[in-house]
Amino acid sequence: MATGRESIVPLEQYKLPPVGHAISGAVGSLISNFIIYPIDISTTRIQLEKKGSNSDRSSLLAMIKKIYNEGGIQGLYTGLAPDSLATVLSSFIYFYCYSALRNLQEGVNRSWGRPAALNIYQELFLGAEAALISRFFTSPVSNITTRLQASTNSQDSFAGVAKHIYKQKGITGFWTGYRASMVLVSNPSITYFVFEKLKALYLRSSNKPVLSSWHIFFFSAFAKSIATMITYPFIFIRANMIASSDKGKEPMRDGQPAEPKQRQNLFQLLRKVVERDGPSGVYKGMRAQITKGFFNSGILFLIKDYVATYLTVVFYAAYKMRQQSKLAN
């Protein structure tokens, strides 16, 4: 018969439950979002600048300076509250779903007599599935935030923009760009996949049990940069779809209002940008987006790792108490 000590998993083998990963991811994303928010809002402005404007070729630093001159520090943090809400919700849901689905798939692999480790297709699929679920719940807040970031009117409010979206397009307006998000779910999927592969490769080659803080930051930042370069055209189009959806309708045609511009699908808009600005048009602002993603992902994963380490101890203590209580009974 197994003893009580043998029936309790050692701390080294204990796996943090999905809610622990969700909490650590949410905390990491909140802190990271606050640090890099001026880069975030400046990136959005660069993506939405009209071709031929003086700021069309502006650098990230130039755009940050421009926004600061217009509205000071407050201008650089316009829309921070709703964006933080969207970011925290997105990270919490994403990391919870990804961790839960990963645990489930590992169990399925073992039941089939295969190694528990996920293969490349499973990694990418689970990451995309978790991102798709996350984006569905956070798209409304994210869309409102993008409009706030794009607006130069400091009087715009979260409630005011939400009312405008509802009045203009109804409830479905809050999910403008969600189809583009269905393509963009590959971004966090690629990010997580590249990070996990870099991590596994380094640990195997260096014979070390864990990554250092520097390696966590660099591997996650590098992984996000790779994912951004691959998916950037769709990031650019989605930002323009959301921001331009409050431009109203086209002039009357044959006595009837024209169809709203935003009803064009993702690939129609992509083709329109290429025809208008050339192939390079869909890469406008990519350097700023990569810079944003590099620091955002690096800081997020770094903080998430720290928080997850402490949460593992807390969750393990609770787990051990429950197991001991069960054994005592």
Tens digit of each residue's pLDDT, the chain (329 residues): 444 445 788 888 899 999 999 999 999 999 999 999 999 999 988 888 765 554 444 588 999 999 999 889 999 998 898 889 889 998 999 999 999 999 999 989 889 888 888 877 888 888 888 888 888 888 888 888 888 877 766 667 888 888 988 888 888 888 877 776 677 778 888 888 898 889 889 998 988 888 888 999 999 999 999 999 998 888 888 777 776 655 544 433 333 334 444 455 667 777 777 777 777 788 888 999 999 999 999 999 999 999 999 999 999 999 999 888 887 77
pTM for the predicted model, two decimal places: 0.77
Place of tokens 């940008």: 273
- Tokens representing 265 are 């699908």
3-state secondary structure (DSSP) of residue 281: helix
Q: Which domains does the chain have, with CATH numbers?
A: 16-153+169-245+261-328 (1.50.40.10)
Angle at 42 between CA 142 and CA 305, to 5 degrees: 65
Where do the H-state alpha helices sit in the chain? Answer: 18-48, 60-76, 80-111, 120-150, 158-169, 178-184, 186-206, 213-244, 266-277, 286-328
Q: Which two tokens stand for residue 100?
A: 């839960």
The tally of CA atoms less than 13 A away on the side-chain side of residue 159 is 0
What size, in residues, is the chain? Answer: 329
The answer to whether 149 and 76 have CB atoms below 8 angstroms apart is no
CB 237 within 8 A of CB 271: no
